[in-house]
Amino acid sequence: MGNIVLNGSLKFLSLGDVLQLIGSSGGSGVLRLMSKYSQTPGEVFFTKGNIINASASDKTGLDAVYLLFGWAEGDFEFSLENFNVPKVITSNRMEIILDGLRMVDDGETPKLGPVSFEKKESSTIPVIKGPLIDYMYVADEEEFRDGQFIIQEKRHGNWIWSIMEGVVDIVKETPQGPLTILRIGEGSFIGGISAFMFQGSVRNATAVAVGKVQLGILNTQRLSEEFLSQSRDFKDFAISMDRRRRDLTNKVVDVYLKRDNLKERLASKKHTIKQGQKDETLYRITQGEAAIVRKIPEGYVLAAMLGPGDFIGHISFLDMGHEPYSASVFTSEDFQSDKVNQENLRKEYDGLASTLRNLIESVATTISVTTRVSCEFQRKNAKEAKQKK
């Protein structure tokens, strides 16, 4: 056993919440779940916040993680310790959480013990949480009531908030009415890197309070100064991540409205990175266009369209659930790119102040969850099309 740094009851913190907490803190160690209905504990192994393996009953790997979502009663503890298990899980952390909750909701995961699960509308999209904010970065506090707009789509603004208490819905306007695409909670951010990089930034979604919400207004001048002190490569990388997030937020509406025009967008494009391939390289686009596409059983989902200055490929220190493991990259005929020394980027990322690092991590998490929302809309579209035949 190692040094236990987190423990509690699964009745107080669900497995999904615990996995988010460990992941956002970048912890390396073993999460153990104990239940009086199981003779042996379940174990989930983390390396720098990423789930790499697990065991529960006679299951290992992803199957074991999903099985543990059925443990609604019991205790957990997370220990910082060394372990010797192979890395067999490459799925994004938020993807695992979303799948685990869905499988419980759909009855695919057995329920351990005399417990009941309420079917909730938000169960397929859990509340995204993050680590507590460093209060030194909070310039002021604001309180919002249920239904109040915090920011509005297409309005200008450069404020960044951290949620200190409560839940906020992120909503896109569509011809069919408002569409909730995300639900975020304590430790999450409202506003991204572009908010303090570009004066007069235009919001690309609306944030609405769900119940009472307490927000901390961040010191954007201090964040901006810290960001501008980083290398040009790192700033370009972070801005590219934020650009991908914003484009994906728009693409989810296209999928919802069945207007993504995927065939037209992929016409004459080359399949450069195939979903699932083991390519550890990170590239910077210097010319042309790249389409990020997720393949699911019901078809293909366009996640983002990227161009010169954007980064594609494997990111060793951030997991956003895209290429190479969970998405493909299709490139135009004139596409060109340069390889990136991502070890230098990793060192800068590790050396960031916690608030700025958490903001960038939040962008990656938002990309992961929003992609999943697009996939759910695609599944719904495919089901409706099948029923019409």
Helix 93-105 vs helix 15-25: angle between axes, to the nearest 10 degrees? 180
Give me the pLDDT at residue 122, please: 39
Q: Which amino acid is at 116?
A: S
Is-contact 301 375, C-beta < 8 A?
yes
Bridge partners (DSSP) of residue 53 are: 45
Q: Which amino acid is at 301?
A: V
Taking the C-alpha atoms of residue 336 and residue 15, their distance in angstroms, rounded to an integer, is: 43
Bridge partners (DSSP) of residue 6 are: 78
Structure tokens at 169: 């819905």
283: CB partners within 8 A, 6+ apart? 311, 312, 313, 337, 338, 339, 340
Is-contact 242 363, C-beta < 8 A?
yes
Give me the pLDDT at residue 89, please: 93
Give me the pLDDT at residue 123, please: 40
**Along the chain (389 residues), what's the average pLDDT of each consecutive run of 10 residues?**
84 88 87 90 93 94 95 91 91 86 84 52 62 86 97 90 96 95 93 71 92 95 92 95 94 93 90 92 97 94 96 91 94 97 93 92 92 92 84
Give me the pLDDT at residue 120, please: 41
Sign of CA dihedral 305, 312, 357, 122: positive
21: CB partners within 8 A, 6+ apart? 6, 13, 129, 131
Name the region of 18 (left: φ>0; alpha: ψ -120 to 50; beta: rest): alpha
pTM value is: 0.82
Taking the C-alpha atoms of residue 254 and residue 89, their distance in angstroms, rounded to an integer, is: 31
Give me the pLDDT at residue 194, please: 80
Give me the pLDDT at residue 199, please: 52
Taking the C-alpha atoms of residue 252 and residue 366, their distance in angstroms, rounded to an integer, is: 12
Give me the pLDDT at residue 196, please: 67
Enumerate domains of the chain plus CATH numbers. Answer: 3-123 (no CATH), 127-229 (2.60.120.10), 230-389 (2.60.120)
CA-closest candidate to residue 366, choices 17, 19, 24:
24
Side-chain half-sphere CA neighbours of 51 within 13 A: 31
